[in-house]
Amino acid sequence: MSYPYQIKSLEAYHKDYNESVENPEKFWANVAENFLWKKKWDSVLNWNFKDPKVEWFSGAKLNITENCIDRHLESSGDKPAIIWEPNNPEDRVRVVTYNILHKRVSQVAQMLINNGVKKGDRVCIYMGMIPELAYAVLGCARIGAIHSVVFGGFSAQSIADRLYDAGAEFIITCDGAYRGDKVIPLKNVIDDALIGNRSIKKVIVYTRTRTPISMLKGRDLWWEDEMEHAEYQLEKQGKIHFPAEEMDAEDPLFILYTSGSTGKPKGVVHTCAGYMVWTNYTFVNAFQYQLGDIHFCTADIGWITGHSYIVYGPLSAGATSLMFEGVPTWPNASRFWDIVEKHKVNILYTAPTAIRSLMGFGLDPLKGKDLSSLKVLGTVGEPINEEAWHWYDQNIGKGNCPVVDTWWQTETGGVLITNLAGVTPAKPSWATLPMPGVQPVLVDENGNEVNVKDESGLLKGNLCIKAPWPGILRTTYGDHERCRTNYFATYENLYFTGDGALKDENGYYRITGRVDDVLNVSGHRIGTAEVENAINMHSGVVESAVVGYPHDIKGQGIYAFVIIMGHMHVNDAETRLDILQTVTRIIGAIAKPDKIQFVKGLPKTRSGKIMRRILRKIAENELSSLGDTSTLLDPTVVDEIVGGKL
Ligand code: WT7
């Protein structure tokens, strides 16, 4: 495997960037030549942002798993595709070679077919971070079933909503998952999600934790039995592998739910060819991957980062991807550094929130750890503050490893703005330059490109992208209009990211955070409306308003202002606990408010709209800049809220 499209110098970056903008069809056709196609495309790109309609490599036929597995077998069959580090450091490491991966994915494909799964069917995957999760994802892709991975921290209610929205008929799960010193009872959560459900036909359960579970006869099956049977069948037919389904370039590959500014998460849809090319291209370029390097992305496959940079990007590049089941601070805060030393990790890709939390333990956990294998460090998920950037650079990279700050989104499939490790310049807390094919633009509220610099010489605006790159989302599942209004209707002919950004004199971008009602808590995306809906499910709550506030480790914390019915309220502590439990039950523990303030009223305009700007200022402790409150329906509520601030 070689990567002729890997950018090796700043000059080459500028050259490729210019070519990608001047002639995107030619540029991406050249990149796409490096993949395995069953049939080449008829046209490279058809698009308009009005409908929106985006088609890349239209007419082409392929299967992404042949690109991620089969094509590497001859040269690298015995090389590790996945190295798995278990939650408990004393447990056995598993090394999955490309040959073994090929066999397991074939078995999963056969197992799915045996259980009635067809091309286009939706399969919900709710598992911990074990190699079987990767097999499940790729097994779906092998037969053209659409996977929808749900992060193991989501509640039964969240799963039920997603199953319904996706019209899923099949689930793959585990008895439980290990997370630090906790066991998450995944199958029990699935059972709760399936109360009253009539559409799920089969639930396949892998044994990981030996947590006691119940199995519903006729519906629930053991992964181990099904996989053994599949193996027997493949052998009996004399097949060494399960033939990969021929997919259209624009057939959906997966759905991944993500939060927006409304109460209901949307199912972002990515398709086969464009997503494959984009994750591979960005993986090889941002991290400057060299064959043989060990790439350790600490994300969970339940999020887009894991899809793109644990599974599809690395495997399509024939890389070795390290998959970690545990958490950064268990059994102690040396966990990441032990893994780096043990597996001689070359590329470490993690989130600012993890860096900040590890910073809090000081330098002791680093003592005696050999981090000399590291070549490249990466961050993703939220803005990284300069202090954390320098700590990462100095103490982990020892000043020798380029740090790439990769900005992107679930909707973008892969990285859009980043420096390329050691190739283009880094600037602490700046994502810097766009990838080839990405045309960012900063606009004001009216959609006009900003061109007036502020006092520090920077342009400031809402971040949009002018034209499609291969990894852009194609639709939101079952509701194309929602895709249009969410991303393509705010500004005409632009994809709107929901982020605000700055641009300096070098053309570098710094992403400052969301400008919509979306929070980023420890790199997890949560809609304020979603949290409000969950809080309002508590029978004692009259109304609530949720905003973000700066949090030292999480980046943003969740601040809830809640009006409670007098007679339901025994004491603050108990009601608070009840509300937290309600949010955990409706969404999951990741959405629990950090602060809950009980208030008598919320600041509203005369037309009844909640003035979140004021609440945000109060939560951020910027009491001197509350602005004009005289137009409020009842200005006195502001004093009451400020008086009771937590
Ligand atoms: C939002 C997307 C991208 C995979 C993980 C999160 C924020 C992401 C950065 C960065 C500043 C960042 C943005 C974006 N974000 N990366 N390097 N610098 N902000 O995916 O859940 O879809 O969230 O995360 O606000 O819109 P996601």
Question: pLDDT tens across 512-536, in order?
Answer: 999 999 999 998 999 999 999 999 9
pLDDT tens per residue across span 335-388: 999 999 999 999 999 999 999 999 999 999 999 999 999 999 999 999 999 999
Q: Which atom of ligand 1 is nearest the CA belonging to 525?
A: 21
pLDDT(630) > 90: no
Take atom 19 of ligand 1 and give the residue whose Cα is closest.
Answer: 382
Q: Which atom of ligand 1 is nearest to the CA of 304?
A: 4
* Any ligand 1 atom below 6 A from CB of 407: yes
* Residue 286 beta carbon below 6 angstroms from any ligand 1 atom: no
What is the Cα–Cα distance from 424 to 402, expressed in whole angstroms? 10
Ligand 1 atom closest to residue 408's alpha carbon, by position in its atom list: 3
Q: How many angstroms separate the CA atoms of 81 and 320, rounded?
A: 5
Ligand 1 within 6 A of 380 CB? yes
Q: Whose CA is nearest to atom 8 of ligand 1?
A: 381
Question: Is residue 556 within 6 Å of ligand 1 at its C-beta?
Answer: no
Residue found by looking up tokens 């790199």 in the block: 523
> How far away, in angstroms, is 567 Cα from ligand 1 center?
42
Measured from the CA of 497, which atom of ligand 1 is nearest?
Answer: 26
Is 126 near ligand 1, meaning CB less than 6 Å away? no
Measured by CA distance, the residue closest to atom 2 of ligand 1 is 409
Best of 385, 408, 412 for a ligand 1 pocket test (most atoms within 8 Å of beta carbon): 408
Nearest atom of ligand 1 to the alpha carbon of 415:
3
Q: Which two tokens stand for residue 517?
A: 């009602």
191 lines ligand 1 (CB under 6 A): no
The band of 646, judged by pLDDT with boundaries at 50, 70 and 90, is confident
| CATH number of this structure's domain 66-245 | 3.40.50.980
Average pLDDT of span 198-202: 96
Regarding the beta carbon of 418 and ligand 1, being less than 6 Å apart is answered: no
Where residue 587 falls (left for φ over 0; alpha for ψ -120 to 50; beta otherwise) is alpha
Average pLDDT of the residues of the chain: 96
Helix (H, G, I), strand (E, B) or coil at 258: strand
Indicate whether 571 pLDDT > 90: no
Tokens 């939060």, residue?
Answer: 259
- What is the Cα Rg of the chain in Å? 24
Determine the straight-line distance between the first and last CA of the chain, rounded to whole angstroms: 57
**Fold of the domain built from segment(s) 10-65+272-301+319-514:** Rossmann fold (3.40.50)
Query: Which atom of ligand 1 is found nearest the CA of 418?
Result: 17
Contacts of 303 (CB under 8 A, 6+ apart): 151, 256, 410, 524
> Is the overall model pTM greater than 0.85, yes or no?
yes
What are the start and end residues of each CATH 3.40.50.980 domain in the chain? 66-245
Please choose from 382, 427, 502 the residue to mutate so as to test ligand 1's pocket, defined by most ligand atoms within 8 A of CB.
382
**What does DSSP say about strands 122-126 and 146-149: parallel, antiparallel, or unpaired?**
parallel
Which stretch of DSSP H or E encloses residue 29? Answer: helix 24-32
Residues 6+ positions from 570 with CB-CB distance below 8 Å: none
Place 628 in a pLDDT band, splitting at 50, 70 and 90: confident
- The alpha carbon of 380 and the centre of ligand 1 are apart by a number of angstroms equal to 6
Q: Residue 334: CB within 6 Å of ligand 1?
A: no
User: ω before 352 within 30° of 0 (cis)?
Assistant: no
Atom 14 of ligand 1, nearest CA residue: 409
Region 518-643: CATH code: 3.30.300.30
Measured CA to CA, the distance from residue 252 to residue 477 in angstroms comes to: 10
Pocket flag, ligand 1, residue 527 (CB < 6 Å): no
Please check the confidence at residue 569 and state whether its pLDDT lies above 80.
no
CA distances from 354 to 348, 380, 527 (A): 12, 10, 21
Interval 403-412: pLDDT, tens: 999 999 999 9
Confidence of residue 126 (pLDDT cuts 50, 70, 90): very high
The residue whose CA is least distant from atom 10 of ligand 1 is 407
Average pLDDT over residues 40-54: 98
Pocket test for ligand 1, best of 149, 409, 496, 509 (most atoms within 8 A of CB): 409
What whole-number percentage of the chain has pLDDT above 90? Answer: 93
